[in-house]
């Protein structure tokens, strides 16, 4: 029997990854919730990057096209203490917009910085709303920037012209926002960190810069897997009006295994699996982390390929002073709008650092640009996990063509075993992913028939009888 099944090409060990130090920081806890935009690629002018330093400092750097970084170690965006949310770039002017909050007379205020010119580093402060914190920024094609933020325990979308309540969030930031570069669309994602629908992912879109809003969508309700709870949320991307979302999920109880899923709004079905990973002891992941988590996504202008980047923990690489697993940066590539993904490629090899909080710059020209934070001691010194240390801020670069791609190829897979329904769970290795004869991810309840079990490049056929 020959059927079309999804195979992934073997990752090339010869991928050339370069490491560029763009600044320094003693903050080893850059992002609490979702991966938010700390780096952006302006294809006409250059690359912008931001990060947290010390307690309350926002740093910025810019690399013009064809030149070196403008500042050796970056500059402070403001002399005052500010809590960085995220950054985006105005698609028309190339000016950086940085969202943040600050405390004034014991109350939090939301605000943003706007540069005087692309890459100038001379920021003007704009104060917006009282009692809003964790200000995540998105710039679209038209109008002013939009911001996702928290007020008390509720997620909001605010700007100079809009004020939209989204839903309950809880005491910690769990929201994100992205804007389209060719239209007025924005998407906000969030999840409650407490309550009856804790860790359930939600999304709300506006087609016209916040003047109207579509109905709230419960993304966790449609995912075709038992892994429907998120811990660090989602990252979204627009291709004109076409929306893509990537998020991490676990089963709501056991943090030893997680999966990254990709959502394409207009696909049927809309969800596609990117990767999955497990660790031996979830207690060694540290605070707010899954075995693979905090994904971000970008799109190539040249080929329209999609690229996902995330942090992934290695239970064979343990920090001796804190007992925590160290993380590496991984990436994957899709050539068919996210329907299939190539074998993930490890971009940072195991060493004595934990490579945390990666984010990929969008859009992609020819090379991937990824900001990340290698921590010399795994764990957060702010929570008493190891000493305070000064660490570099790194931009990873590699050719987009170095990442493997997924292909559809006829294959006569060998029989793994013939099994009955009661013995399937006990007999099948849990590392295998199960697909039906059409190459779709199989989910319970399983019916008798032919299935394909895959672990990495290993593929076996399984005949299920009553």
pLDDT one-digit tens code per residue, 127-144: 998 999 999 999 987 778
- Considering only CA atoms, which of 306, 340, 312 is closest in space to residue 435? 340
111 lies in the same domain as 169: yes
372 lies in the same domain as 443: no
399 lies in the same domain as 420: no
> Per-residue pLDDT tens for 324-357?
999 999 999 999 999 999 999 999 999 999 999 9
273 lies in the same domain as 355: yes
> Per-residue pLDDT tens for 245-304?
999 999 999 999 999 999 999 898 899 999 999 999 999 999 999 999 999 999 999 999
Sheet holding 367-375, edge to edge: 18-25, 391-399, 367-375, 354-360
419 lies in the same domain as 395: no
Q: Are 225 and 242 in contact (CB under 8 A)?
A: no
Query: What does each C-alpha distance from 283 to 61, 227, 426 come to in angstroms?
Result: 36, 19, 26
Q: Which domain holds residue 93?
A: 3-408
337 lies in the same domain as 420: no
171 lies in the same domain as 292: yes
pLDDT at 161: 74
335 lies in the same domain as 452: no
422 lies in the same domain as 380: no
Query: What does each C-alpha distance from 45 to 18, 96, 277, 306 come to in angstroms?
Result: 21, 12, 38, 22
The two structure tokens encoding residue 371: 């900001």
Q: Which of 408, 428, 457 is the last residue of a domain?
A: 408
> Per-residue pLDDT tens for 179-228?
998 888 999 999 999 988 999 999 999 999 888 999 999 999 999 888 99
pLDDT at 417 over 60: no
372 lies in the same domain as 456: no
Q: Which of 359, 374, 408 is the last residue of a domain?
A: 408
On average, the pLDDT of the chain sits at 87
% of residues, the chain, pLDDT over 70: 85
More confident residue, 428 or 47: 47
pLDDT at 444: 65
Whether the CA torsion 372, 376, 377, 382 is positive or negative: it is: negative
List the CATH number of the domain containing 70. Answer: 2.130.10.10
SS3 per residue for the chain: CCEEEEEECCCCCCCCCEEEEEEEECCCCCCCCCCCCCEEEECCCEEEEEEEECCCEEEEEEEECCCCCCCCCCEECCCCCCEEEEEEECCCCCCEEEEEEEEECCEEEEEEEEECCCCCCCEEEEEEEECCEEEEEECCCCCCCEEEEEECCEEEEECCCCEEEEEECCCCCCEEEEECCCCCCEEEEECCCCCCCCCCCEEEEECCCCCCCCCCEEHHHCCCCCCCECCCCEEEEEECCEEEEEEEEECCCCCCEEEEEEEECCCCCCEEEEEEEECCCHHHHCCCCCCEEEEEEEEECCCCCEEEEEEEEEEEEECCCCCCEEEEEEEEEECCCCCCCCCCEECCCCCCCEEEEEEECCCECCEEEEEEEEECCCCCHHHCCCCCCCEEEEEEEEEHHHCCCEEEEEECCCEEEEEEHHHHHHHCCCCCEEECCCCCECCCCCCCEEEEEEECCEEEEEEEEC
Look at the pTM and tell me if it is higher than 0.95: no
> Per-residue pLDDT tens for 370-388?
999 999 999 999 888 888 9
pLDDT at 460 over 70: no
pLDDT at 240: 78
47 lies in the same domain as 9: yes
The two structure tokens encoding residue 28: 């080893």
Q: How many domains, in total, are found in the chain? A: 2
Distance of alpha carbon 60 from alpha carbon 18, whole angstroms:
21
417 lies in the same domain as 402: no
Instruction: Give the count of alpha carbons within 13 A of 316, CB side only.
Output: 3
pLDDT at 407: 53
pLDDT at 48 over 70: yes
Q: Which of 359, 379, 408 is the last residue of a domain?
A: 408
């Amino acid at each position: 029997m020959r059927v079309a099944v999804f195979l992934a090409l073997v990752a090339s060990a010869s991928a050339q990854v370069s490491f560029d130090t763009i600044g320094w920081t003693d903050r080893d806890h850059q992002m609490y919730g979702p991966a938010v935009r700390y780096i952006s690629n302006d294809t006409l002018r250059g690359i912008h990057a931001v990060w947290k330093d010390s307690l309350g400092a926002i740093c910025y750097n810019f690399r013009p096209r064809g030149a070196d970084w403008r500042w050796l170690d970056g500059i402070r965006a403001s002399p005052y203490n500010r809590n960085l949310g995220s950054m985006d770039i105005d698609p028309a002017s190339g000016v950086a917009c940085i969202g943040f909050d600050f405390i004034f007379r014991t109350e939090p205020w939301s605000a943003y910085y706007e540069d005087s010119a692309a890459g100038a580093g001379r920021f003007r402060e704009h104060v917006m709303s009282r009692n809003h914190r964790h200000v995540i920024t998105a710039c679209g094609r038209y109008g002013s920037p939009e911001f996702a933020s928290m007020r008390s325990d509720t997620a909001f979308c605010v700007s100079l012209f809009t004020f939209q309540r989204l839903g309950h969030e809880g005491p910690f930031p769990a929201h994100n926002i992205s804007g389209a570069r060719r239209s007025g669309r924005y998407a906000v994602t969030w999840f409650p960190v407490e309550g009856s629908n804790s860790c359930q992912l939600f999304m709300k879109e506006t087609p016209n810069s916040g003047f109207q809003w579509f109905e709230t969508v419960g993304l966790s309700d449609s995912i075709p897997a038992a892994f429907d709870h998120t811990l660090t949320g989602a990252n979204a991307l627009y291709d004109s009006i076409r929306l893509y979302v990537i998020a991490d999920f676990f089963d709501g109880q056991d943090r030893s295994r997680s999966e990254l899923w990709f959502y394409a709004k207009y696909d049927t079905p809309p969800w596609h699996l990117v990767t999955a990973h497990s660790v031996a002891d979830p207690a060694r992941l540290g605070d707010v982390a899954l075995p693979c988590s905090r994904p971000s996504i970008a799109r190539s202008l040249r080929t329209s390929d999609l690229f996902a980047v995330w942090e992934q923990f290695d239970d064979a690489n343990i920090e001796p002073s804190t007992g925590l697993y160290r993380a590496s940066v991984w990436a994957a590539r899709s050539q068919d709008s996210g329907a299939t993904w190539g074998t993930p490629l490890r971009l940072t090899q195991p060493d004595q650092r934990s490579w945390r909080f990666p984010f990929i710059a969008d859009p992609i020209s020819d090379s991937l640009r990824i900001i990340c934070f290698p921590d010399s001691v795994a764990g957060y010194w702010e929570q008493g996990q190891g000493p305070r240390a000064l660490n570099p801020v790194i931009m990873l670069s590699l050719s987009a063509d170095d990442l493997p791609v997924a292909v559809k190829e006829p294959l006569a897979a060998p029989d793994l075993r013939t099994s009955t329904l009661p013995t399937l769970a006990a007999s099948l290795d849990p590392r295998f992913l199960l697909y039906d004869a059409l190459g779709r991810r199989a989910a319970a309840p399983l019916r008798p028939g032919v299935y394909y079990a895959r672990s990495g490049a290993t593929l076996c056929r399984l005949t299920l009888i009553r």
